Structure 1
Amino acid sequence: MATAGDCPFEPSVWGDFFVTYTPPASPLSEERMRERVNQLKGAVRRVFEVSKASATDATKLVDTLQHFGVEHYFREEIDAALSRIRDEEPMFASSNNLHIIALRFRLLRQHGIWVSADVFDKFRDGTGDFSMSLCNSPRGLLSLYNAAHMATPEETALDDAIAFTRRHLEAMKSKLMSPLVKQVARALDIPLPRIGRRLETRHYIAEYELEEEHDPTLLELARLDFELVRLLHLKELSELCLWWRDLYNGCKLPYARDRMVEMYFWDCGVIHEEENSHARIVFVKTFALISLTDDTYDVHGTLEDCQKFNECIQRWHESAASMVPGYLRTLYLRTLKGFQDFEDMLDPSEKYRICYVKRGYKMIIEIYFKEATWLHQGYVPSFKEHVEFTRVSSGLPMLIPVLLMGLGSVPTYKETFEWALNMPDMVLASGEVGRFLNDLTSYKVGKRKKDVASTLECYMEEHDATGEEAFAAVTRMKELAWRRINRACLEMDPALLRPAQFAVVDLARSMEFIYLGGSRDAYTFGSNLKDSVTSLFLKPVVPA
Structure 2
Amino acid sequence: MACRNTVSIVSSMQIQKLHSIEKQSPPPERISTYKPNIWKYDHLLSLTSQYSEKKYKVEAVKLKEEVSCKFTESVSPVGQLELIDRIDKLGLSGSFEVETKEALENTILDSMKSNSSSKKEEDLYATALCFRLLREHGYHASQDMLKDFFDGKGKLPSDINTLVELLEGSHLSMDGENLLNDIRLFSTKNLKNLSTSSDINRLTNNPLAWRVRWYDVRRHIISAQNCKNTNPMLLQLAKLNFNIIQATHQNDLKDVIRWWRNLCIVEDLDFTRDRIVESFFFAAGIASEAQHGSMRKWLTKVIQLILIIDDVYDIYGSLTEVQQFTRAIEKWDPKEVQKLPTCIQICFRALHDTMEEISIEIQRQNDGPPTLPHLKQEWINFCKALLVEATWYHKGHIPTLEEYLDNGWTSS
Q: What CA deviation, in whole Å up to 9, does each residue of 1:227-248 have, x standing for no partner?
A: 0110111122122222213325
1:8 matched residue in structure 2: 33
The whole-number CA distance in structure 2 between the counterparts of 1:117 and 1:19 is 47
Instruction: Check whether the contact 2:326–2:384 (CA below 8 A) recurs between aligned residues.
Output: yes
Q: Is 1:103 the counterpart of 2:129 in the alignment? A: yes
Q: What CA deviation, in whole Å up to 9, does each residue of 1:214-237 have, x standing for no partner?
A: 111111111101101101111221
Instruction: Check whether the contact 1:343–1:351 (CA below 8 A) recurs between aligned residues.
Output: no
Instruction: Check whether the contact 2:52–2:247 (CA below 8 A) recurs between aligned residues.
Output: no
Q: 1:158 aligns with which of 175, 180, 188?
A: 180
Q: Is 1:356 the counterpart of 2:374 in the alignment? A: yes
2:145 matched residue in structure 1: 119
1:281 CA displacement: 0.8
Q: 1:154 is matched by which residue type in structure 2?
A: G
Q: 1:143 aligns with which of 162, 165, 168?
A: 165
Distance change >3 Å, CA 372–CA 385, structure 1 → 2? same
Q: Is 1:336 the counterpart of 2:359 in the alignment? A: no
The Cα RMSD (Å) is 2.1
The 3-state SS of whatever aligns with 1:154 is coil
Instruction: Check whether the contact 1:103–1:143 (CA below 8 A) recurs between aligned residues.
Output: yes
| Unpaired segments ≥5 residues, structure 1 | 1-5, 395-544
Instruction: Check whether the contact 1:18–1:238 (CA below 8 A) recurs between aligned residues.
Output: no
Output aligned runs, 1:446-457, within 5 Å: none
The 3-state SS of whatever aligns with 1:347 is helix
Q: How many residues align?
A: 376
1:293 matched residue in structure 2: 309
1:7 CA displacement: 4.4
Q: 2:272 is matched by which residue type in structure 1?
A: A
Instruction: Check whether the contact 2:92–2:238 (CA below 8 A) recurs between aligned residues.
Output: yes
Q: Is 1:67 the counterpart of 2:83 in the alignment? A: no
Q: 1:309 is matched by which residue type in structure 2?
A: F
1:80 matched residue in structure 2: 102
The whole-number CA distance in structure 1 between the counterparts of 2:281 and 2:275 is 10
Output aligned runs, 1:175-190, within 5 Å: 176=197, 181-182=198-199, 184-190=200-206
Q: What CA deviation, in whole Å up to 9, does each residue of 1:347-400 have, x standing for no partner?
A: 352352332222112111111111111222232323233223212212xxxxxx
The whole-number CA distance in structure 1 between the counterparts of 2:182 and 2:264 is 50
The 3-state SS of whatever aligns with 2:121 is coil
1:57 matched residue in structure 2: 79
2:399 matched residue in structure 1: 381
Q: 1:228 is matched by which residue type in structure 2?
A: I
The whole-number CA distance in structure 2 between the counterparts of 1:248 and 1:292 is 13
The whole-number CA distance in structure 2 between the counterparts of 1:118 and 1:249 is 55
1:106 CA displacement: 1.0
The whole-number CA distance in structure 1 between the counterparts of 2:319 and 2:335 is 22
Q: 1:101 is matched by which residue type in structure 2?
A: T
Q: 1:386 is matched by which residue type in structure 2?
A: Y
The whole-number CA distance in structure 2 between the counterparts of 1:332 and 1:10 is 24
Output aligned runs, 1:225-374, within 5 Å: 225-249=241-265, 252-348=268-364, 349-374=367-392
The whole-number CA distance in structure 1 between the counterparts of 2:192 and 2:315 is 41
2:20 matched residue in structure 1: none
Larger radius of gyration: 2
| Unpaired segments ≥5 residues, structure 2 | 1-30
The whole-number CA distance in structure 2 between the counterparts of 1:247 and 1:372 is 26
The whole-number CA distance in structure 1 between the counterparts of 2:267 and 2:309 is 11
Identity %: 26
Distance change >3 Å, CA 141–CA 114, structure 1 → 2? same
Instruction: Check whether the contact 1:68–1:204 (CA below 8 A) recurs between aligned residues.
Output: yes
> TM-score, normalised to structure 1's length?
0.65
The whole-number CA distance in structure 1 between the counterparts of 2:391 and 2:43 is 39
1:250 CA displacement: 6.3
The whole-number CA distance in structure 1 between the counterparts of 2:169 and 2:186 is 13
The whole-number CA distance in structure 2 between the counterparts of 1:252 and 1:259 is 15
Output aligned runs, 1:490-529, within 5 Å: none
Q: What CA deviation, in whole Å up to 9, does each residue of 1:490-522 have, x standing for no partner?
A: xxxxxxxxxxxxxxxxxxxxxxxxxxxxxxxxx
Q: What CA deviation, in whole Å up to 9, does each residue of 1:447-491 have, x standing for no partner?
A: xxxxxxxxxxxxxxxxxxxxxxxxxxxxxxxxxxxxxxxxxxxxx
The 3-state SS of whatever aligns with 2:286 is coil
Instruction: Check whether the contact 1:18–1:241 (CA below 8 A) recurs between aligned residues.
Output: no
1:315 CA displacement: 0.7
Instruction: Check whether the contact 2:91–2:238 (CA below 8 A) recurs between aligned residues.
Output: yes
The whole-number CA distance in structure 1 between the counterparts of 2:400 and 2:94 is 44
Output aligned runs, 1:417-456, within 5 Å: none
Instruction: Check whether the contact 1:102–1:147 (CA below 8 A) recurs between aligned residues.
Output: yes
Q: Is 1:44 the counterpart of 2:67 in the alignment? A: yes
Instruction: Check whether the contact 1:318–1:333 (CA below 8 A) recurs between aligned residues.
Output: yes
1:253 CA displacement: 1.5
Q: 2:103 is matched by which residue type in structure 1?
A: A
1:337 CA displacement: 0.7
Distance change >3 Å, CA 48–CA 243, structure 1 → 2? same
Q: 2:240 aligns with which of 183, 208, 224?
A: 224
Q: Is 1:170 the counterpart of 2:192 in the alignment? A: yes
Instruction: Check whether the contact 2:363–2:370 (CA below 8 A) recurs between aligned residues.
Output: no
Instruction: Check whether the contact 1:150–1:193 (CA below 8 A) recurs between aligned residues.
Output: yes
The 3-state SS of whatever aligns with 1:151 is coil
Q: Is 1:90 the counterpart of 2:122 in the alignment? A: no
Distance change >3 Å, CA 102–CA 109, structure 1 → 2? same
Instruction: Check whether the contact 2:160–2:191 (CA below 8 A) recurs between aligned residues.
Output: yes
1:173 CA displacement: 4.4
Q: 1:379 is matched by which residue type in structure 2?
A: H
Distance change >3 Å, CA 88–CA 323, structure 1 → 2? farther
Instruction: Check whether the contact 1:19–1:239 (CA below 8 A) recurs between aligned residues.
Output: no
1:65 CA displacement: 1.3
1:326 CA displacement: 3.0
Q: 2:66 is matched by which residue type in structure 1?
A: A
The whole-number CA distance in structure 2 between the counterparts of 1:162 and 1:352 is 46
1:11 CA displacement: 0.6
Distance change >3 Å, CA 252–CA 329, structure 1 → 2? same
Q: What CA deviation, in whole Å up to 9, does each residue of 1:28-84 have, x standing for no partner?
A: 773332122011111111111115x53222211111111122211222111111102
Q: What CA deviation, in whole Å up to 9, does each residue of 1:417-453 have, x standing for no partner?
A: xxxxxxxxxxxxxxxxxxxxxxxxxxxxxxxxxxxxx
Distance change >3 Å, CA 371–CA 29, structure 1 → 2? closer
Q: 2:55 is matched by which residue type in structure 1?
A: R
